[in-house]
């Protein structure tokens, strides 16, 4: 007889859900995870991972086109769009299969279906339309002392700009195109919008980006986004800020968008449109209203340990609010389950969560921006170092970029770090570690960085903040 009673039951198997399930099993809890679509959730199947596979293909294509800059020859360079998509899907499948292996390894039961919470400790699972993995449990009633909601988020839809999967895409359709459109409009310039704009532009699309706010990449430091914008425009991406798309007129194989900007209206006809105007939490059909779980603006309200207002019910990841990032969900889940176990974990500090955008050039940041520091009237020191002053960057042929750091002038505390350029998504963790360890500027300046590396710029930026920069 299949087991129906667990210590911990997690709804959703995305990064937050499956990592929490593993940690719960490590702590000795009888654990189950409910999934209705695909193991690994959006991130592994339709988000973080497959988009990086697509962007890697675009990056290599770009280098092949510029082979002569490296003393190489590459004639008749081209791409096969279907093969690019196929590689991306195989990468996702490999990782999704890996989640299944991890669940089995850690003795986490998989329940296949769509869950709703009937009462604290009681969950009903309805059958899923998708095929269940072998050995997964099915529809039925289940009990668990602790229920953790990790149902993630889906694309936000605005009236009049509804995706139709053919002409107007969300990130789902944008990842599996049957061809690369000659022209493309991207509505929204957050990480998702800019990554797709970068991907399709590299493959030859005529790309236009429309952003309703004054700057692209709205959460980024103004100086960094300005640098990135100049780079994007140099690549041929057309960018409209303080603008909005008010209407989409669909034809058989094209869309005419009405764009309002500066009090004027203009029409733009493109083959395809990508709607990248954010995401909204999946809080529906979970029984939250019946339970009385507090929600606000499409997310579940939780405390610092992911507890809702209902005993035994928790929420982590995108469904529990911004920043809507996979690594935030994972850490949030760890904190949640360790608190349930009574291990007294440190609450998550959202100011130390790094953000990365994998466009070309890459963008990465952690902590406070310069403009936010000034708005708070903080007394700060700001240091900068350009890629053009770094030997490794020049050798790589990637000499365009910037590293920027912000310190508290009185204490030497690192308040924020912001980067744009090659491989900065791999560099940012150095500053994240420094901030978590409460490292001062003096300790960073005394740290020896290897040469020649891009990471040397991280120290040089710190030196610049204190008038000691060496290589510019």
Which residue(s) pair with 78 in the sheet? none
Q: Which letter does DSSP use for residue 280 in this model?
A: E
Phi, psi of 339 (to 5 degrees): -70, -40
Active-site residue flag, 240: no
What DSSP letter does each residue of 228-270 carry, written as one string?
HHHHHHHHT-EEE-SEEEEEEEE-SS-EEEEEEETTEEEEEEE
Which residue(s) pair with 307 in the sheet? 314
How far is it, in rounded angstroms, from Cα 20 to Cα 3?
20
Buried b / exposed e over 111-129, threshold 16 CB at 10 Å, is bbbbbbbeeebebebeebe
**From the centroid of its chain, how far is CA 180?**
23
- CA-to-CA separations, 115 to 99, 286, 404, in angstroms, rounded: 20, 7, 45
The residue annotated as part of the active site, out of 66, 146, 418, 451, is: 451
Tell me which residue of 146, 108, 139, 104 sits closest to 125, measured CA to CA.
139
Return the number of other C-beta atoms located less than 10 Å from residue 94's C-beta.
Answer: 11
How far is it, in rounded angstroms, from Cα 466 to Cα 461?
9
Q: Point out the residues that are catalytic.
A: 451
């Amino acid at each position: 007889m299949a087991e129906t009673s667990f210590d911990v039951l997690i709804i959703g198997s995305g990064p937050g859900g499956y990592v929490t399930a593993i940690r719960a099993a490590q702590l000795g809890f009888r654990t189950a995870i409910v999934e209705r679509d695909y193991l690994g959730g959006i991130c592994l199947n339709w988000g973080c991972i497959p988009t990086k596979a697509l962007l890697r293909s675009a990056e290599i294509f770009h280098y092949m086109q510029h082979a002569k800059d490296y003393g190489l020859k590459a004639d008749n360079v081209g791409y096969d769009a279907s093969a690019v998509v196929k590689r991306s899907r195989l990468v996702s499948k490999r990782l999704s299969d890996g989640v299944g292996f991890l669940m089995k390894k850690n003795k986490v039961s998989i329940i296949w279906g769509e869950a709703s919470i009937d009462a604290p400790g009681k969950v009903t699972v309805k059958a899923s339309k998708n095929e269940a993995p072998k050995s997964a449990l099915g529809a039925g009633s289940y009990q668990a002392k602790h229920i953790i909601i990790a149902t993630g988020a889906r694309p936000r839809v605005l009236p009049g700009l509804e995706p139709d999967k053919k002409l107007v895409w969300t990130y789902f359709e944008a990842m599996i195109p049957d061809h690369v459109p000659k022209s493309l409009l991207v509505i929204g310039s957050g990480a998702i919008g800019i990554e797709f704009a970068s991907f399709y532009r590299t493959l030859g699309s005529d790309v236009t980006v429309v952003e309703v706010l004054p700057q692209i990449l709205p959460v980024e430091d103004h100086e960094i986004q300005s640098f990135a914008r100049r780079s994007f425009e140099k690549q041929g991406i057309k960018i409209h800020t303080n603008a909005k798309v008010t209407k989409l007129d669909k034809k058989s194989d094209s869309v005419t968008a009405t764009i309002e900007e500066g009090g004027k209206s203009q029409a733009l006809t493109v083959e395809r449109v990508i709607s990248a105007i954010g995401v909204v939490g999946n809080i529906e059909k979970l029984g939250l209203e019946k339970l009385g779980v507090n929600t606000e603006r499409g997310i579940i309200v939780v405390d610092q340990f992911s507890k809702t207002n209902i005993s035994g019910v928790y929420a982590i990841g995108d469904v529990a609010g911004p920043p809507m990032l996979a690594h935030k969900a994972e850490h949030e889940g760890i904190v949640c389950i360790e608190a349930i176990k009574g291990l007294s974990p440190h609450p998550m500090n959202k100011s130390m969560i790094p953000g990365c955008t994998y466009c070309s050039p890459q963008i990465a940041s952690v902590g406070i921006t310069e403009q936010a520091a000034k708005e708070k009237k903080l007394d700060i020191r700001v240091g900068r170092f350009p890629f053009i002053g770094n030997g490794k960057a020049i050798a790589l042929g990637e000499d365009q970029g910037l590293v920027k750091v912000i310190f508290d002038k009185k204490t030497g505390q690192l308040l924020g770090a912001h980067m744009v350029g090659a491989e900065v998504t791999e560099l940012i963790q150095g500053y994240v570690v420094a901030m978590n360890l409460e490292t001062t500027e003096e300790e960073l300046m005394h740290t020896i960085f290897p040469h020649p590396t891009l990471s040397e710029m991280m120290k040089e930026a710190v030196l610049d903040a204190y008038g000691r920069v060496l290589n510019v």
